[in-house]
Homo-oligomer: A and B are copies of this chain.
Amino acid sequence: MQEGVSIYLVSDSNVDTAENIASIAAAHFDTFIEKIKKYSYVGDINQIEDIVMEAANDSNSIIIHTMVVKELKEYLQKKAQKFGIKIVDVMGPVIDAIEDSTGISPHTELLRDSKEDYLKKIEVIEFAVKYDDGKDPMGILLADVVVIGVSRTSKTPLCMYLAHKYIKAANLPLVPEIDPPRELFEINPKKIFGLTIDPEVLVKIRKERLKSLGLNDNALYATEERVKKEIQYAEEVMQKLGCTVIDVTNKAVEETANIILNVLRGGEST
């Protein structure tokens, strides 16, 4: 009989991601999975000891993990190595890439937030990713906050920031040539935040954008005329909706987010 493989899925949150990846990988092999063991919410070294001992006793084990708590992850890796068990770190390379790119250190303690908070945070970030840029109008109906505005008003980073505050935020670009989806007019306008900006500043931002793309900065996209037309159209939509309008000219994303948070708490927008 063909040699099967025992797969150990390990996480300090839930193992769904590891499980999903194991399934996709398995679909590429005409081979048997002899055994699948799942360990969610692994929170201490004793649990890791038990898991590695069990894996070591199978003839052919692979540990696939999504551990992020630094000490636990290192302990798991060290132990697996000691017993010659193959181990795959799913999250590590992605977290390292973001750290390299931004120069910002990740939180590697899971539990500064509680487990529930952490899972909730992943959920709202997934929401922001899924309903970014108006791709699915369903997001408008499901969101706590819907951000609208013309191109280059920082809608995406704003929604990501709000997600870090546990708020489900969707965003939708406004363009004169495309009618906003009807869903936008069906929700409570208190959930909608329109971003506006000084046309001159936006012209500069868009010219920079075009340059960074290696394009001619005289394109229509960055002309004063076009920008003014877009902003005027956007403001008309916002007025029609009766939503909160925030002028983001020279505002940092955090500032805009704080205005939104304040409105949601029942405060004023200005």
CB-contacts of A1-60 with B (<8 A): 1-5, 13, 17, 19-36, 57-60
Among the 9-residue stretches A95-103, A193-201, A226-234, the one with 4 or more Cβ atoms under 8 Å from chain B is A95-103
Give Cα A31 to B133, complex, Å.
Answer: 19
Among the 9-residue stretches A156-164, A175-183, A258-266, the one with 4 or more Cβ atoms under 8 Å from chain B is A156-164
Beyond A95-B28, A214-B57, is A1–B253 a contact (Cβ under 8 Å)? yes
Give Cα A90 to B91, complex, Å.
Answer: 9
A191 at interface by CB-CB < 8 Å:
no
Q: Is A30's CB under 8 angstroms from B164's CB?
A: yes
Q: Is B25's CB under 8 angstroms from A98's CB?
A: yes
Name the residue among A5, A66, A161 with the largest chain B CB count within 10 angstroms. A5
A221 at interface by CB-CB < 8 Å:
no
Instruction: Give the distance to chain B from A134, nearest Cβ to Cβ, in Å.
Output: 13
Q: Is A160's CB under 8 angstroms from B26's CB?
A: yes
Query: What are 29 pairs between A and B in contact, CB < 8 Å?
Result: A1-B253, A2-B102, A3-B101, A3-B102, A4-B102, A5-B101, A13-B24, A17-B24, A19-B126, A19-B130, A20-B20, A21-B94, A23-B129, A24-B68, A25-B94, A27-B164, A28-B68, A29-B106, A30-B164, A31-B98, A32-B161, A36-B129, A57-B212, A57-B213, A60-B101, A62-B98, A62-B101, A64-B94, A88-B93
